[in-house]
Amino acid sequence: MNPYLPAEPVILSIGDIAVSSSYVYLPHGCYPLRGTVWTVQDSTQVYEGISTAGIVLTIIFVWFCLLGLLFLLMKDRRYSGFVAISVTGNGFHHAVQLPPGPQTGAWAAHMVAQARGMAAVAPPV
């Protein structure tokens, strides 16, 4: 750790952003937490379609009985995009992109809400 940075325990970590009770630690420096603005943007897209295994099983079992058509109900979900979290303060801006997933957007919103709460009660530095 850099000896010129304040030594406070990290309370919250989001990607490469670390937050203590008074400071925001970024890869390019340490900044006061008070007065920071936190944003979250969820650009996740969900694609749902018939799974490959369902198609193969349907082709195999449709000849034995018509119940093989039920395999077409098997769905496959794919996620694309990202969840972006950014923090802006006096003289700095930093953003983190997280991979998409079924719970990533809710987790990111919760973490940003915690960071906003910490910034609201942070002591002046």
- Report the pLDDT value the prediction gives residue 65, as an integer from 0 to 100: 72
| DSSP sequence for 68-96 | GGGGGG-EEEEEES-EEEEEEETTEEEEE
In percent, how much of the chain has pLDDT > 90?
Answer: 65
- The answer for residues whose C-beta is within 8 angstroms of residue 46's C-beta and 6 or more apart is 77, 78, 79
pLDDT at residue 1, rounded to an integer: 43
Residue-wise pLDDT tens digits, 86-106: 999 999 999 999 999 999 999
Q: What's the pLDDT at 4?
A: 54
- Residue ranges in the chain whose pLDDT is less than 50: 1-3
**Could you give the dihedral angle defined by the CA atoms of residues 83, 85, 104 and 101, in that order, rounded to the nearest 10 degrees?**
20
> Would you kindly state where each structural domain of the chain is located, as residue ranges?
48-77
Amino acid letter, 79: Y
* pLDDT value for 6: 64
**pLDDT at residue 21, rounded to an integer:** 92
Query: C-alpha 106: how far from its chain's center?
Result: 8
